[in-house]
Amino acid sequence: MACKTFFSFHYTEDVWRALNVRNCWVVNDDQESVGFFDGSVFEASKKESDDALKTFLRNGLKNTSVTCVLSGQYTASRRWVRYEIVRSVLKGNGLLTVDIHGVRNNAKELGVKGTDPLVEVGVYLSNGKIYFAEVKDGKWVKYSDYASAIPASDLWFEPPASNAVVKLSKHCMRYDFAAQNGRENIAGWIETAAALAGRR
C-alpha cells in the first residue's frame, strides 16, 4: 500500500505548481495526499491565531507517514512550512524535498530554484537535550515555534552529538521534479523517504 503523504509548500507562490505535482502522483486509489487545503480554509485559520493554525496543520499531518516539501523560490523561509517540517520530524514522518521551480504556474511561467527548506532547519544538543534550530538572518537560532526538548527516541535518524546544528537535509533526499522526471519517479522518491524513516 502506498504512503499517505502530506505535501508542504508555500501556498500563495506555488499552489498551482504543487497541484500539478500532486496530480501526477495521485494516479490510483491507494495513493492519498494530505495538505492540499482549500485556500479559504487556510487563510481563515491564519486569521484566527497562531495556535489555531498550528492545530490545523497538526491535524493535517495526522495519519501520514511521509512529508514531501515542494520547494520553490521562497519556500525555505516560510514560517508555516518550517512548522510542518518540525511537526513531521516529531511525528516520525519520512521527509524529502522536491524542487518545483521547473513546473509552470497558471501564467505558464517557470520559477527560480530556491534553497532546500531542510537545509534551514536542524537539530542540536544543549545540556544533554536535543532542540530544533532554524536559520534567521543568516544565523542558526533556537527554533521559536517549538521550544521543547526532543527525546532522542523520537528521531528516526542519528541524534546530534554536540551543539553544532545538524541540518535535516543531511538525512533526507532532494530531487528536481522537472529535471529528474518527477512525473514518473515521485512515487518512488516518496517510498524511499518512507523507508529511510522506517515507515514501510
At residue 46, the pLDDT reads: 61
Please give the domain boundaries of the chain with CATH numbers for all domains: 5-114+172-196 (3.40.50)
At residue 29, the pLDDT reads: 47
pTM for this structure?
0.91
CA distance 109 to 107: 5
- Other beta carbons within 10 angstroms of residue 161's beta carbon come to 9
> What is the dihedral angle through the alpha carbons of 71, 76, 77, 83, rounded to the nearest 10 degrees?
90
Query: Tens digits of per-residue pLDDT, 76-94?
Result: 999 999 999 999 999 999 9
Q: Are 101 and 113 in contact (CB under 8 A)?
A: yes
One DSSP character per residue, 17-33 reads HHHHHHHHH--STT--E
Query: Tens digits of per-residue pLDDT, 6-22?
Result: 889 888 888 889 888 88
Q: What does the DSSP 8-state code read for residue 140?
A: E
- More confident call, 50 vs 158: 158
At residue 32, the pLDDT reads: 54
